[in-house]
Amino acid sequence: MGYFFGFAQIGSIIYWIAILEEAKYLGPVAWAALVAYLSVYTSLFAWTYRKCTLLGLPPIWIAPVLWLGFEYFRGTQPWGGFNWGEIGFSQACFPNLSFWSGLAGEYGLTFLILLVNAYWADFLIKRFKNIRMPWRNWAAVFFPIVCLFSMMSIADFMISSTPLNKLGTVGLLQPSVNQEEKWTKAFENETYNRYEQLIQTCSRSKPDLILWPETGAPDFLRISPDLLSRVSRMVEEGSTPELVGCLDVAKGVKNGLEYFNAALEFNPKGQPGKVYHKQHLVPFGEFVPFQKYISFLGPIVSDLGSFTPGSQYEKLSARSFTYTPTICYEAVFPGDMRNASKTGADVLVNISNDAWYGHTSAAFQHVQMGILSSSELRKPLLRAANTGISYITDPYGRVRALSGFFTREALVGDVLVLSHPVTFYSAFGNWLPNLCLWLTGALLLLGLIRKSPGKTRTGSGPVEALPPPSASREAQ
């Protein structure tokens, strides 16, 4: 049951993998293989939970510990590395709940959700089994509601009573270039014309930084003199620092070439500066794991990805604030965003291209997962996406400016920060999921070595073994 639940849950969330046009016939195969693998974790959760409750351990606490332990294992490198659709991300749209992610990140919200639901599930199961309960137990069912409303009220008070400081403004370019046209030479001139128009629109508001989306310049920009000259001229005319998504190449080991998904900064005079290389690459999109062992799949797989991961985050400068760039997929990993914030920059930046996923819910899921990192670290997140959705958040994860989906526009908004953005999560990281991971390992081992005590009643909570026949006769 745990396996089929996981297959239905995860499979419905990432259905868009099966219909990716770029993957052709491999899309459904990739979807089925990934969902089949991820469902193993819900299967392990169900088995371990059942074993632990049969051994008499409290289900209300076992459920959130096990779920978070397995979820963290599947979503964090080096163990799993695919955390799409984790439960805590569902609270990104509610600032008075996502506020508490500052304690333990997205994983803390997951733990809270599981704890409340396990509490109510235990109560309902007892009612369905006609277990008589005194009135005080009925009153106890409202305890989580009281706690949640108290947490939300405290968060509302903290948010409203803490002033935000404006450091400047930012312009986000959303050109809405179709994926089929983006990489064709015939459409190259039109692509740069769109950026030129959007930059002119942004420049009227005199922003302190302008952001292009991921691979906004779909070329190896630093080794393409004509294109580099054109981008430099566009930046100089706008007289604003800009961050341009592009491709990059450099000599690697043994004089071989290494290719990068990159972001290149330009100063107001149009001169290129530091470059950031994306570190957390998309499996089967930007690199192919074990590629030499699956070459039999043909050239489609070989052409999907051959990027090299970068080695460090960069602290870059706008006119009135500093920022750290991340690229696309990196924004959904709490650990990655926390590492990016360690540069000490005022602001987090994410450039992305969700055109690959078409008009599916993938882009909306991506947005929601990224927003939560702003609340976890109490830093604004500035996101520029090719086809949308682009947005600007404040340090509490509240969206202050939002673009449309598959629209061409220049979005301008204020950059708001806190005086002291340090949170417990930014200081101590994933302490809660690491604790749950160790406890999950111990409980899994306990379930393997301990046998359940005799026949048991079916239920969610601790159950007692039935008395042996001899004891029953003595009782009679």
- Give the model confidence (pLDDT) of 359-418 as tens digits: 999 999 999 999 999 999 999 999 999 998 999 999 999 999 999 999 999 999 999 999
Angle between helices 188-203 and 225-238 (to 10 degrees): 20
Cα separation, 370 vs 92, whole angstroms: 9
In the chain, domain spans = 2-162+427-462, 165-418
Cα separation, 178 vs 406, whole angstroms: 9
Q: In what order do the strands lie in the sheet with 347-352?
A: 316-317, 322-327, 347-352, 381-385, 391-393, 399-402
- For residue 306, the model assigns a pLDDT of 78
**pLDDT over 50 at 188, yes or no:** yes
The pLDDT tens digits for 8-47 are: 999 999 999 888 877 677 788 888 998 999 999 999 999 9
Question: Residues 93-100: what's their mean pLDDT?
Answer: 93
408 exposure class (CB count in 10 Å sphere: 0-12, 13-18, 19+): middle
> How many other C-beta atoms can be found within 10 angstroms of the C-beta atom of residue 251?
9
The pLDDT tens digits for 200-257 are: 999 999 999 999 999 999 889 999 899 999 999 999 998 999 999 999 998 876 667 8
Q: Is residue 473 very low, low, confident or very high in pLDDT (cuts 50, 70, 90)?
A: very low
CA 207 to chain centre: 28
**pLDDT over 80 at 79, yes or no:** no
> How many other C-beta atoms can be found within 10 angstroms of the C-beta atom of residue 415?
25
Return the residue matching tokens 């005199």: 206
Quote the pTM value: 0.86
- For residue 317, the model assigns a pLDDT of 93
Rg value, the chain, Cα: 26
Round to the nearest angstrom and report the end-to-end CA distance of the chain.
Answer: 40
Question: Residues 124-147: what's their mean pLDDT?
Answer: 73
- For residue 444, the model assigns a pLDDT of 87
The pLDDT tens digits for 325-372 are: 999 989 999 889 999 999 999 999 999 998 888 899 999 999 999 999
Q: Is residue 5 very low, low, confident or very high in pLDDT (cuts 50, 70, 90)?
A: very high
Amino acid in position 434: N
Which CATH number is correct for 165-418, 2.40.160.40, 3.90.550.10, 3.40.50.10800, 3.60.110.10?
3.60.110.10
How far lies 406's CA from each of 182, 295, 354, 385, in Å? 14, 35, 10, 10
